[in-house]
Structure 1
Amino acid sequence: MTPSSVELALIDRWQHDFPLVAKPFAIVGRSAALDEQATIGVFRRMRACDLISRVGAVVRPNTVGASTLAALQVPPDRLDQVAEVVSREPLVTHNYEREHDLNLWFVIAGGDAGAIAETIDRIEAQTGLPVVDLPMVQAYHLGLGFSLREPRAQKRQPPAAGDYRPDPRDQRILAAIENGLPLVEHPYLAVADQLALGQEEVIARLEHLVAAGVVTRFGCVVRHDKLGFRSNAMAVWNIPGEIIDDVAAIFARHASVTLCYQRPSRPLVWPYNLFCMVHARFREEAYAVIDELNLLADTGLMQQAVLFSKRCFKQRGAVFSRHKETN
């Protein structure tokens, strides 16, 4: 499906700052000269056609719940079978084949560190392969949307993670919308009724999570490949610890870098500690961005690699509910 100009405009505008009001689609529609019901219809169609995966919260790692990035080195003749095992795990949110000896990469995100560890243990037991666990050390840039036109000259920055005091309602609310807001006239009321809370209570908690930097953006989560951005590059470097913050600051400012973060290296199997995500229409575009990063940060001679994704086996939002059945 080729997205219409209206769909592209709605996606581009509402990847962030989706209205936290009783009737958000009435406001959203005004930006495209649509009435409320027509707007809801467009969003339902975009979700059905996989242009967007959901409208909802993108949560800063390890604030509410826990998460990690992990990888496996899978013999090529076992890749489909092992990928199926990994994707069946309820807490696995993303599962990709990438071009590297470590060829299966997945994100595990759930309620707490114990649930993450249990997931890793099950995967190792079922596959007979050791999981390379790479938890977040430092997040330098968490993407606040994905421009469908030229990269924005001024990147949006989320609020720093502030003085957030966990509230038991927050995890329940995030669990209720982990697959996205209901695409109805009163979505927050639908969530509130499900949780036996008040609508204003749900909206107020989401506003607090956004203000505290726990939710880094609230809006459309796009399917990049469905919109023509098929060269998904995970660029990684081995950066000395004494300069990693300075290098990361340079990388994070680049308009084409959607994520930048530090993870631990693992001797013998994974020497890299700084990660950047670059989404491009073609490989040449991705390589051009990485070349520019190396020039800006003087990292061209440092050990590095680019892992392009080959296949997506699973992609969904973080899981905050407990005992969630696999989709």
Structure 2
Amino acid sequence: MSHLPNNAQDGELLNRWQQRFPICAEPYAELAIALGLSDGDAVMARLQRLREQGSLSRIGGIWGARAAGAGMLCAMAVPPEQLDAVAQRVNARPGVNHNYEREHHFNLWFVITGPDMDCLAQELSELEQQCGLETLRLPMERAYRINLGFDLKDPHGGNCAARGADPQAALMTGHGRRVAAEERGLAACVEQGLPLLARPYAAWAEAAGWPEQRVLRTLQTWLDQGVLRRFGVIVRHHELGFAANAMCVFDVPDDQVDAHAALLARQPGVTLCYRRSRANQWPYNLYCMVHGRAREEVLQWLSQAREVAALQAFPQAVLFSRRRFKQCGPSYFRQPVKAIQTEAGHYA
């Protein structure tokens, strides 16, 4: 079911601040000025309603490659009659944040995150024993694009961040710096989401045991250094009408991947683009995600992207999503975070 914004101001809230949310003492008051609303309370009320409707996931950050911890894309070939039961076992693992059925022999695809690769290996081994199935383990080697921003104004616009070069593309090529040990408390807050309070960063400061100004400085530094890819409104794109998506994989000679990926990552509709390790029974090393409002639109974006990136001749596969079993923010920082009550009586 689509939950498109029902007025221009709600649409502007979800559209304009996906990439850069204000990092200041009273961000909702700043948004109120930009939107012509009476005050920050009016903005918070709108955001609360959008969250309850399912349009808004959270206000928070997307970590840069390798900045926060370890992540792994995994896949299982599950007998159809066992798929629901296995999917629920996968969902129960604490680090799993995405879990989809896709159109392929390897039909269950999930992402698991955690503090390090040893932690992930242990969790996956336990999961394999529990399910009696092996997993494809596909660690990322290089990220060319990580940006799930969506243009909610243009019904034919596709992904709003994929129309040109990624503004932080240079930061994707290296390892960058990781979140320091003393920063992990704030990082856990970022994953939890910004509370709907007049001074939300002050609440994070209290939870992390820091002064408010240090929180603001650290968030801005993380953005400047690429520790955070973006900090802003994170929408639930499926609920907002982008109901079709496909994972597209290519088997490209290792010495040619970067050149083709540089073109692929810039194409409309392409939201994610990675190089991953190959695995037994899985020869592919270049991946992209393409999102659209319908299957036909995804196929159109993909056809255009393949042509521009000169990928037609390489072995490839297109895995459309069938069912979404789980979708939430990643959980790299699994330390307990004090619940922060919002003014509306909800907890962040």
Residue 90 of structure 1 corresponds to 94
Task: Assess, with a 3 A threshold, how the Cα gap between structure 1 residues 144 and 98 changes in structure 2: closer, same or farther.
Answer: closer
1:20 pairs with one of 8, 13, 23: 23
Task: Assess, with a 3 A threshold, how the Cα gap between structure 1 residues 175 and 166 changes in structure 2: closer, same or farther.
Answer: closer
SS at match of 1:312: strand
Q: Could you tell me how far apart the structure 2 residues matched to 1:99 and 1:297 are?
A: 24
**Is there any run of 5+ residues in structure 2 with no aligned partner, and where?**
338-348
SS at match of 2:192: coil
Residue 8 of structure 1 corresponds to 11
SS at match of 1:220: strand
Asked if 2 retains the 8 angstrom alpha-carbon contact of 1:96 and 1:310, the reply is: yes
Q: Could you tell me how far apart the structure 2 residues matched to 1:232 and 1:165 are?
A: 30
Asked if 2 retains the 8 angstrom alpha-carbon contact of 1:159 and 1:212, the reply is: no
1:199 pairs with one of 186, 195, 212: 212
Q: How far 1:144 moved relative to its partner?
A: 5.6
Deviation string, structure 1 residues 230-250 (Cα, Å, up to 9, x no partner): 111111111111211111011
Q: Which amino acid aligns with 1:217?
A: R
Q: Could you tell me how far apart the structure 1 residues matched to 2:206 and 2:236 are?
A: 29
SS at match of 1:244: helix
Task: Assess, with a 3 A threshold, how the Cα gap between structure 1 residues 119 and 281 changes in structure 2: closer, same or farther.
Answer: same
Q: Could you tell me how far apart the structure 2 residues matched to 1:74 and 1:266 are?
A: 17
SS at match of 1:227: coil
Residue 293 of structure 2 corresponds to 281
1:266 maps to 2:279: yes
The TM-score normalised by the length of structure 2 is 0.88
Residue 302 of structure 1 corresponds to 314
Residue 185 of structure 2 corresponds to 172
SS at match of 1:189: helix
SS at match of 1:242: helix
Identical aligned pairs, as a percentage? 40
1:318 maps to 2:330: yes
Which residues of 2 match residues 215-294 of structure 1 at below 5 A? Answer: 215-267=228-280, 269-294=281-306
Q: How far 1:72 moved relative to its partner?
A: 0.8
Residue 33 of structure 1 corresponds to 36
Over the residues paired in the alignment, what is the CA RMSD in angstroms? 1.8
Q: Could you tell me how far apart the structure 2 residues matched to 1:324 and 1:123 are?
A: 24
Q: Could you tell me how far apart the structure 1 residues matched to 2:33 and 2:74 are?
A: 42
Asked if 1 retains the 8 angstrom alpha-carbon contact of 2:68 and 2:178, the reply is: no
Task: Assess, with a 3 A threshold, how the Cα gap between structure 1 residues 29 and 255 changes in structure 2: closer, same or farther.
Answer: farther
Residue 341 of structure 2 corresponds to none
Q: Which amino acid aligns with 1:231?
A: A
1:52 maps to 2:56: yes
**Is there any run of 5+ residues in structure 1 with no aligned partner, and where?**
none
Asked if 1 retains the 8 angstrom alpha-carbon contact of 2:272 and 2:288, the reply is: yes
Q: Could you tell me how far apart the structure 2 residues matched to 1:66 and 1:200 are?
A: 29
Asked if 2 retains the 8 angstrom alpha-carbon contact of 1:18 and 1:218, the reply is: yes
